[in-house]
Structure 1
Amino acid sequence: MSLSLYNTLTRKKEEFQPVHAPQVGVYLCGPTVYSEAHLGNARGPVVFDVLTRYLRHLKYQVRYVRNITDVGHLESDADTGEDKMEKAARAARIEPMQVAQHFANRYRQHMMALGCLPPDIEPQASGHITEQIGMIEEIIANGFGYEVNGSVYFDVPKYNEAHRYGKLSNRSIEDQLGGTRDTLAGQDEKRSPLDFALWKKASPEHIMRWPSPWGEGFPGWHLECSAMSRKYLGDLSDIHGGGLDLMFPHHECEIAQCQASDTHTDESRVWMHNNMITVNGTKMSKSLGNFVLLGDLFKGPTGPLAQGYSPMVVRFFLLQAHYRSPVDVSDDALQAARKGYRKLMNGLRLLDKLVATSEGADLPGDADLRKLTADLYTGLDDDLNTARSIASLFNLLRKFNTLATTPAALADVSAAALTEAVAAYRTLVTDILGLQDEPRANAEQLLELTLGFYAEAKADKAYDKVDVIRAALKGQGIVIKDTKAGVEWAYSEE
C-alpha cells in the first residue's frame, strides 16, 4: 500500500505523488511569537514531525520548512488593530525583536521537549521583506493589487473573475460578502470588504517598518508564507499545512497571492489541516482564555488540569487521535495517554529479551507474526492515521508478551520473523512516531533512598552490604561521608 493523504483542496484522499520525486518540499505555518505557546500550537508541529519522519523512512529527500511570524500579524483578520508583536513589546517596554527572540527560543525548546526534530529551514518574516515586496509588485503588475495612501491591497473580486477565491475553504464569494459587509467601517481604503492587505502603511507610532515603493510600512500577514515557500520550495511545493483555523482566510489568501503573482500555482499540490484541541468541546485559544501553556502543562497543575504531564505523554496524547479529528483535553484523557505511552515503553524494554529458540524458517507462528508486523504501517499509509498505527503496535505488543511468557509460542516463530517484528516495532515507536523513553526516577530521591539503606546496613553491622553500596555509588562518581550529623554524600574529586 502506498501513502495517501487527504487534500483539503480536492476534498479527497489522494495517492501521494511528489512534484519532483524523490525530493519532497513540506511547509508548515509556524507560530506568531508574541507569547508563550499553548497545547493547541503543538499539534501541527507534532503531526508534521511524524509526517516528515515517515516520508524520510520511505526514502524521500525531504526539505521541511516551518516559519516564524515576527511581523505583520494584526489583532484582526480584517487588517485592523495593533501588530501583535508591537503590542507585546509595548506592554513589556522592550523592543519587538526582543519579544520575538524570547518566545521563538521558548517555542523551539518546547518543540524539542516534545520530540519534534528541527525544521531544515526556519525563516522569519522580518528577514524576507525583499521577497515579499517583490511578490507584491508582481501582483500589482498582473492587475490584482492596488495602492491607496501608502498601503497595498489585494483585489479579491477582480481575482475571483479569473480564478475562484474560496476554493480551498469551499466558500463562495457571495457568502463571504454577506458575512463581511459590516466590517467595511473604518476600512474606507479598501474597494471591497473582502480585500486584504499586502502592505500596510506604518503609522507614526509604529515601530516595525521598512522602506518600499509605496512608502514606509510592513507586509500583510498572509504574504510571508507565500513568499518564503516560493523561495525555499519553488513555485509548487508538495505539502503545505497548518491548523484548521488557518484554512480561511490565511491559506485561502496564500493561494490567491500565488496565482495572482508570477508563480501562477496553488502554491502546494497537497493542503493538509489538523483539527483543533478543545476544552470541554470548545476550541482552545488565547482569545477565549481557555488555553493551557506548554510550559505549565509540563509542570502542572494548570487551568482545567489537576496535574502536570511529561512532554512524551503529551506527544502520545496528540498522536493517539487522527490528525483530522478534534482532541478534547482533560485529566482523564491525559492519564489514559500516560498509561498507553508507558505500555509502549515497556514494550521497548521487552524487545531485547525476545530471542528465538527454534532454528529454520516458515514456522507455524510466522504468518500471524508477519501479519501483525505488516499492519503497523497500514494506518500511516492511510492519511497518516497514527491512531490506527498505535492500535497496531498494541496488537503486536500483546503478541510479544505471549512470546515472552509462553515458551511453546516462542518456539513456533523463526528468528527471521521475530527479528523483523522487533525491528519494525522499534522503528515505528522511536524513529517515526518519535516516542522516546523518559527517565521518570528522581535521582536525588533515589540517592537519599540508597543512603538510607547504607545507614541501616551500617547499624546492623552488615559491612558486606556497606562495602557494596559504597563501591556502587563510587562507580557513579558519588562518595559517602560518615559524619557526626549522619550520613552525607559528595561528588568524587578523583
Structure 2
Amino acid sequence: MKSHNLKLYNTLSRQKEEFKPINPPFVGMYVCGPTVYGDAHLGHARPAVTFDTVNRYLTHLGYRVRYVRNITDVGHLTGDADEGEDKIAKKAKLEQLEPMEVAQQYTDTYHRDMALLNTWKPSIEPRATGHIPEQIALVEAILKEGLAYEVNGSVYFDVLKYNQTNQYGKLSGRVLEDLMSGTRDLDGQGEKRNSVDFALWKKAAPEHLMKWDSPWGMGFPGWHLECTAMSSKYLGTQFDIHGGGMDLMFPHHECEIAQGNACNHQDPARYWMHNNMITINGQKMGKSLGNFITLQELFTGNHKLLDQAYSPMTIRYFMLTAHYRSTLDFSNEALKAAQKGYKKMINGLRTAQLLEYQADDSTALDEKQIQQIESSIANAYRSMDDDFNTAQAIGHLFNLLKKINSIFTGQLKSAALGEEVFEKLKNTYITFVTDILGLIEEKSDNQGSMIDLLLKLYSEAKTARDYAKVDEIRAGLKDMGFVVKDMKDRIDWAYEE
C-alpha cells in the first residue's frame, strides 16, 4: 500500500482528520443511493461521481474497498418524513404499473446513466425490499433496548429517551430543544409521543400497495431504517466511511446514527462525508422553477435552459473541477468551459500515450525541468490527499501537460529528463486522468478509421500541392470538432478545444 497522509473532512467532527481504516487494507464505504421513481438528474450525478472518485483514489493507494450503495425501492414517502404516499407507489398508480416495475425501470436507467459517467459499479448494491427481515429484526432490537414504542401497528423511535444518554443532532448540529419548539403536531402525527420521533415501521392502510407482514401487523419499513440494516449487514456494525449528499445529513443520516447507537451501541461510521448541492444558473434545482434537468436531457441538449448537448465526460469533468464540498453551479457558460478543459485533458492523454523515450547521450539532464515535474506530481497527490481536492489536482495535471506537449513538439527532449522521470511524468498523467479522475476519451466506433482516411487524403493533397483540397479537408474536420496537426515527421489530429 502506498504511503500517503490522506486526510478527509469528517462532517461529524467538523474538521479534517487523518484517514485510519478500522481494518486496513480493507475499507468499508456505504453511500446512500437513489430512490428509483424517476430519471436520474444532476442531484444523483454529484454523489455518484464524488464517491466513485473516492473509491478510485483509495483503490489506487492500495486499499481494498467494499463499496455498498443501496437502491431505495420502498419506504421513502412523498414528504421525506413519516407521512404521505410512497414515492414509488405513487408513480406506479400514475403509470398503471406494479411498483416493482417502476423500481426496475428507473434502476435500469440509473445504471445506464452511471455507466455513461464512467462510475465503477458498487461492490454490493442492496435493495430495501430485499432486506425486510433484517429491518424487522432491527426494529425488534431497538424495542428491546427500550428506545422505541409501538402505536396502532406503527413503531416509532423515541428520540427524547435516546437523547438522555446520546446526542441526537450531533451530525447536523441541530439542537433537540430547537427542533421540538420549531415543530407542531401535524395531521397523522398524533400517535407519536413527540413530533421529533421518527418511524421505524409504519402500519399500512388497506389501499397501500407495498406492505409486508410483521410482529406489528401489515406495514412497511421507515426510510431511515433500510440504510442501517443494509450497511450493518454488509459492512458490520461500524465501518469506515458513510457518504451521501448534504441534503441527507438531516434527518436521514442523523436517524441512522441514532438507530446504530440504539441497537449496536456505537456510531455506524467513523467518517461522514457529504457532497454539497448543485444549483442551476444560481438557483436551487426544482421542478416548480422549470430548471429541473435530467442527465439524459443534458446528454441530448433537450431542455429549454441548454444551448447544446453536453457529453457525459464533460459533465464528469465539470464536477471534478470543483471541490466536492463546495456548491456547484451549472450554466451553459461553465459547461462550455468544462467542455474545452475536458478536450484539452483528453488531447493530452492521447499525446502522452504516444510518447516514447528517446535516449540521447549528447543531451544533458535539465535539473530545473526535472524539479518542476517532480513538484507538480507531488502537488497532484498532495491535493488528492487533502480531502480529495480534484480541482487542485487538475491544475497540477495541466502543468504536467505543458511538459508532455513540449516533449511532443520537440521543444523539450525526453533525454533531458532521464528515462525514470520521463516515464514517471507520462504514467502519472495517464493514471490520474483515467484511473483516478475516471475520464475516458469519448469517440464513436468508426471515428478513428474515418479520421485516418481523411488524414490520408489530406496528406496526399498536401503532397500534390492541392491546397484547395487541403483547406477543404481541414475545414471539414474542424466542423466535426477535430483539428489537423502538421508535425515534422507526421500528420496528427486533436480534439478542438
Paired residues for 1:392-403 under 5 Å: 392-403=396-407
In structure 2, the partner of 1:95 is 98
Residue 20 of structure 2 corresponds to 17
The size of the alignment, in residue pairs, is: 452
Distance in 1, matches of 2:364 and 2:225, equals: 59
Instruction: Return the alpha-carbon distance in structure 1 between the equivalents of residues 153 and 219 of structure 2.
Output: 8
Paired residues of 2:69 and 2:124 also in contact (CA < 8 A): yes
Moved more, 211-220 or 72-81: 72-81
Distance 2:449 2:302 in 1: 22
- Per-residue CA deviation, residues 439-492 of structure 1 (Å, 9 max, x unaligned), is 169769959x97xx8xxx9xxxxxxxxxxxxxxxxxxxxxxxxxxxxxxxxxxx
Decide whether the 8 Å contact of 1:369 with 1:421 is kept in 2: yes
Shift of 1:400: 1.8
Secondary structure in 2 matching 1:131: helix
Q: d(CA) in 2 for partners of 1:303 and 1:19? A: 49
Tell me, in whole angstroms, the C-alpha distance in 1 between the residues paired with 2:356 and 2:316: 27
1:136 corresponding residue in structure 2:
139
Question: Is it true that 1:425 corresponds to 2:436 in the alignment?
Answer: no
| CA shift for structure 1 position 78 | 3.3
TM-score normalized by the length of structure 1: 0.87
Segments of structure 1 that go 5 or more residues without pairing to the other structure are 458-494
TM alignment of 1:209-358, pairs within 5 A: 209-261=211-263, 263-286=264-287, 289-351=290-352, 352-358=354-360
Counterpart CA distance in 2 for 1:419 and 1:346 is: 18
DSSP-derived class of the 1:174 partner: helix
Q: Is the 8 A contact 2:357 2:415 kept in 1?
A: no
Aligned residue number for residue 202 of structure 2? 200
How far has the Cα of 1:374 moved from its partner? 1.9
Whole-Å separation in 2 of the counterparts to 1:399 and 1:321: 24
Q: Give me the TM-score of the superposition, normalised by structure 2.
A: 0.87
Aligned residue among 404, 409, 412 for 2:408: 404
Following TM superposition, by how much is the alpha carbon of 1:405 offset from its aligned partner in structure 2, in angstroms?
2.8
The CA distance in 2 between the partners of 1:408 and 1:115, in whole Å, is 34
Q: Which residue of 1 aligns with 2:373?
A: 369
Q: CA deviation digits over 1:344-391, x for unaligned, max 9?
A: 101011112353443599652322222222222111100000001111
Distance of aligned partners of 1:134 and 1:171 in 2 relative to their CA distance in 1, 3 Å threshold: same
- The answer to whether the 8 Å contact 2:276/2:326 transfers is yes
Of 30, 44, 59, the match for 1:41: 44
Deviation (angstroms), 1:408: 5.1
Pick which of 356-365 and 95-104 moved more: 356-365
Label 1:142 to 1:438 Cα distance change in 2 as closer, same or farther (>3 A).
same
Contact 1:358 1:414 in 2 (8 A): no
Counterpart-to-counterpart distance in 1, 2:290 and 2:412: 57
Report deviation, 1:285: 3.8
Superposition RMSD in Å: 2.3
| CA shift for structure 1 position 409 | 5.2
CA distance in 1, matches of 2:158, 2:173: 19
Match of 2:417, SS state, is coil
Correspondences of 1:446-457 after superposition (within 5 Å): none
Aligned to 2:465: none
Deviations 1:68-124 (A, max 9, x none): 000000011331110001000000001000000000000001000000010000000
Letter of the structure 2 residue corresponding to residue 206 of structure 1: H
Distance 1:141 1:343, change over 3 A: same
What is the alpha-carbon distance in structure 2 between the residues aligned to residue 396 and residue 305 of structure 1? 33
Q: Aligned in 2, Cα 1:288/1:208: closer, same or farther, shift over 3 Å?
A: farther
Q: SS of the counterpart of 1:128?
A: helix
Shift of 1:177: 1.1
Q: Provide the rounded CA distance (Å) in 2 between the counterparts of 1:411 and 1:163.
A: 63
Does 290-299 or 90-99 show the bigger shift? 290-299
Cα separation, partners in 2 of 1:288 and 1:26, compared to 1, 3 Å: farther
Would the alpha carbon gap of residues 361 and 89 (structure 1) be closer, same or farther in structure 2, given more than 3 Å must change? farther
TM-superposition CA deviations, 1:206-242 (whole Å, max 9, x none): 0111000000000000000011000000011100010
Counterpart amino acid of residue 437 in structure 2: L
Matched, 1:435 2:439: yes
**1:349 maps to amino acid:** R
Give the CA deviation at 1:399. Answer: 2.0
The aligned residue for residue 476 of structure 1 is none
Shift of 1:303: 3.9
